[in-house]
Amino acid sequence: MTTDADEVWATMLTIVTHNLEDWRRVVSEQVGLPFSRVRVIRRLVAQPLTMGRLAEASGMDAPAASVAVNDLERRGLVQRAIDPSNRRVRMVALTDAGHEMVARVQRVRPAAPAEFSALDDADLEALSGILSRVAEAADLAHA
């Protein structure tokens, strides 16, 4: 039997998407933020973004992004500032508390999906090694 990369990828996507909502729920419960807000603050880790770019990166329309940023600003997790290179543009950046919240999000480690119970220790070790190599190739090892 030959398995190509596309088949493996399709299987991985099925497993991840099937369990994604549970992961989002656990993250939201543990950090006390709706997942839509978690998505926004994670996009701001590398650098401040304009509202337009933040909306696009977060998969939101502009009004939804504005509501999210207003909420995050009230919580002290983000701040708006005028872009020094274009005073008509407002940038959104994480505050120190926002960076701390992102660190909390990154520490959330929900339990593995039930499907993983079919794997023994050797299988899990092999899968971990393979996924580590894939993540390294994609430069995701520290994401």
Which tens digit of pLDDT belongs to each residue from 7-56? 999 988 998 888 888 889 999 999 999 999 999 999 999 999 999 999 99
Within the chain, where are the H helices? Answer: 5-31, 35-43, 51-58, 62-74, 96-107, 121-137
The span from the CA of 102 to the CA of 81, in Å, is 20
Domain boundaries, the chain: 5-111, 112-143
Going by the DSSP 8-state scheme, the letter that residue 120 receives in this structure is -
Q: How many residues are listed for the chain in this entry?
A: 143
Is 37:71 a contact under the CB 8 Å cutoff?
yes
CATH of the domain spanning 5-111: 1.10.10.10
- What's the pLDDT at 35? 96
- Radius of gyration of the chain measured on its C-alpha atoms: 19
Name the pTM for this structure: 0.77
